[in-house]
Amino acid sequence: MSEEYRTERDSMGEIRVPADRYWGAQTERSRRNFPIGNGREPMPEEIIGAFAVLKEAAARANRALQPGKMTEEKCGTICLAAEEIRAGKLRKHFPLVVWQTGSGTQSNMNVNEVIANRGNEIAGKKLLHPNDDVNMSQSSNDTFPAAMHIAAATALEENVLPALEELTGTMRRLEKENEGILKCGRTHLQDATPIRFSQEISGWRASLEKDAEMIRAAGLPLRELALGGTAVGTGLNAPEGFDALSAEKTAELTGIPFVTAGNKFHALTSRDEMVFAHGALKALACDLMKIANDVRWLASGPRLGLGEITIPENEPGSSIMPGKVNPTQCEQVTMVAAQVIGNDVTVGMAASQGNFELNVFMPVCAYNFLQSARLLAESMRSFNERCAGGIRANREKMAENVRSSLMLVTALNPIIGYEKAAKTAQKAYREGISLKEACTALGYLTAEEFDAGFHPENMA
């Protein structure tokens, strides 16, 4: 036997495992059987961390409910090893990829084996068994969906919502700073009636606020945990009260009010809560796409575009055109939004594959959900810091565009009627003259009457 390996055993026999790793036989078999993605798509760290939370919560619940089996020493040792995982100290001991069994069984066992072997090292003796102790009262079929909910709810609470609030706060500030600035409105990418820049920003701000409301609402169902359903939802081999108590302990560890799922048969086979919550993330992605596109259109130029706002210049924009600067933060937001919208399809397809008593697309569902949450949070923080916070109105350009807009003719509708107003706009456009010149030339109003009834500033 090479000193670089040790022999581990499971129900299928012996297998060699790297000597400096805490994982065991079942993890090693999965590592060898799923060489997909070349290790570039590992099980998300958020899932591993969530497993560490639920293993500690389960140990504490078992200690309270069946102290003869879960001794104080075993419980304490499991908790110590789980806390090391949560702190990120044992990341190299979790080698498995997303593309494995659809129940995530081997990732559950990976956590069980690491906690058992690290715990035995801490105890200085053979104290813990991965199945009998670390996995006590559990099954992969209820732990993986529970880990998904813990990870997803935590991602929303600790990452997405705080980043969203930061960006919303910037929009509130910009809205106040730009009150009273009149600009041209646009619909269908064509000139429309005037709007105040603060009103335009208020639309962005309100969209983000609505997104936050929807994410909070969609996060509530994620607080229900499947833990306690064990293999098929019946709770086989789990003591009475384990489901509620383990959820209570999970809530204590995370600060999020998790509860046990009311129907474990639903909790094991349905991923509708993940679909619902990811739908809220998709809604946020859609609004971010719209806001980022508005910003880059308004900042387009600097001479031949709209040029109504300026945004921070962060880096050179071309390897051949000197002095070119591009709206790169807007571009990263729109690419992230496209990824999230695509992820929503995968989450939905994965959730539809609940065959009988178990969904077997859980790893890919979790992977896409957590990627969306992570990307959105990071994207919003970058956009806020490097673009949105530095938006400045080009008042002169906005005023010039308002003066040039033919849609100001809408103010004349109550005075001369729609048909005459339309002819006025058409004449002004064809002949390159002002609305006042066109209106008086057509004989609809005198110059004095036009001035008396034409006040663009009142149109907003």
Secondary structure (DSSP) of 84-153: HHHTTTTGGG---BSSS-TT-HHHHHHHHHHHHHHHHHHHTSS---IIIIITTT--HHHHHHHHHHHHHH
In a domain? residue 379: yes
Closest CA to 32 of 92, 95, 98, 90: 95
In a domain? residue 234: no
Give the active site residue among 2, 129, 140, 188.
188
Please state, in angstroms and as integers, the Cα–Cα distance from residue 150 to each residue in 207, 267, 364, 401, following that order.
27, 13, 16, 51
Which residue is it, tokens 């809560």? 273
Tell me the three state secondary structure of residue 8.
strand
Give the active site residue among 318, 352, 404, 455.
318
Q: Which pLDDT does position 457 carry in this prediction?
A: 84
Distance of alpha carbon 341 from the chain centroid: 11
180 plus 92 within the same structural domain: no
417 plus 359 within the same structural domain: no
Q: Which pLDDT does position 1 carry in this prediction?
A: 36
422 plus 368 within the same structural domain: no
Structural contact between residues 351 and 365, judged by C-beta atoms closer than 8 angstroms? yes
**In the listed set 101, 136, 171, which residue is the last one of a domain according to the structure?**
136
269 plus 179 within the same structural domain: yes
Residue 308 is encoded by which pair of tokens? 């109504």
In a domain? residue 144: no
109 plus 41 within the same structural domain: yes
In a domain? residue 443: yes
Instruction: Say which residues have a Cβ less than 8 Å from residue 19's Cβ, sequence separation at least 6.
Output: 3, 4, 5, 6
Question: What CATH number is associated with residue 87?
Answer: 1.10.275.10
31 plus 98 within the same structural domain: yes
Distance CA 312, CA 448 (A): 45
For residue 167, the enclosing domain spans 151-221+265-395
Distance of alpha carbon 195 from the chain centroid: 32
Going 83 to 86 to 87 to 93, the CA torsion angle's sign is positive
312 plus 435 within the same structural domain: no
378 plus 421 within the same structural domain: no
Q: Which pLDDT does position 225 carry in this prediction?
A: 98
pLDDT in tens, 298-349: 999 999 999 999 999 999 999 999 999 999 999 999 999 999 999 999 999 9
Question: What CATH number is associated with residue 415?
Answer: 1.10.40.30
Instruction: Say which residues have a Cβ less than 8 Å from residue 2's Cβ, sequence separation at least 6.
Output: none
434 is known as an active-site residue: no
Identify the H or E element spanning 211.
helix 197-219
In a domain? residue 241: no
Amino acid letter, residue 52? A
259-260/224-225 β-pairing: parallel
69 plus 122 within the same structural domain: yes
353 plus 269 within the same structural domain: yes
318 is known as an active-site residue: yes
E strands, 342-428, are: 354-355, 358-359, 392-393
Tell me the three state secondary structure of residue 9.
strand
449 plus 388 within the same structural domain: no
Instruction: Say which residues have a Cβ less than 8 Å from residue 143's Cβ, sequence separation at least 6.
Output: 51, 54, 108, 135, 226, 227
Q: What is the CA radius of gyration of the chain?
A: 30
10-residue mean pLDDT series, the chain (460 residues): 80 95 97 92 97 98 98 98 98 97 97 98 98 98 98 98 98 97 97 97 98 98 98 98 98 98 98 98 98 98 96 94 96 98 98 95 98 98 98 97 93 95 96 95 96 88
Structural contact between residues 115 and 134, judged by C-beta atoms closer than 8 angstroms? yes
* Angle made by CA atoms 176, 180, 184, in degrees to the nearest 5: 115
92 plus 38 within the same structural domain: yes
Count other Cβ atoms within 10 Å, centred on residue 62.
26
Q: Is the omega angle on the peptide bond into residue 95 within 30 degrees of 0, that is, cis?
A: no
In a domain? residue 238: no
In a domain? residue 79: yes
Count other Cβ atoms within 10 Å, centred on residue 295.
21
Going 131 to 134 to 135 to 136, the CA torsion angle's sign is positive
Question: What CATH number is associated with residue 381?
Answer: 1.20.200.10
Q: Percent helix, strand and coil across the chain, each rounded to 5?
A: 65, 10, 30
Please state, in angstroms and as integers, the Cα–Cα distance from residue 273 to each residue in 52, 54, 266, 279, 324, following that order.
22, 19, 11, 10, 46
Please state, in angstroms and as integers, the Cα–Cα distance from residue 238 to each residue in 105, 142, 428, following that order.
18, 11, 81
In a domain? residue 285: yes
Distance CA 376, CA 282 (A): 10
Count other Cβ atoms within 10 Å, centred on residue 307.
18
Q: How many domains does the chain have?
A: 3
Amino acid letter, residue 377? A
Instruction: Say which residues have a Cβ less than 8 Å from residue 159's Cβ, sequence separation at least 6.
Output: 373, 374, 377
Half-sphere exposure of 79 (CA within 13 A, CB side): 17
Closest CA to 184 of 197, 173, 168, 175: 197
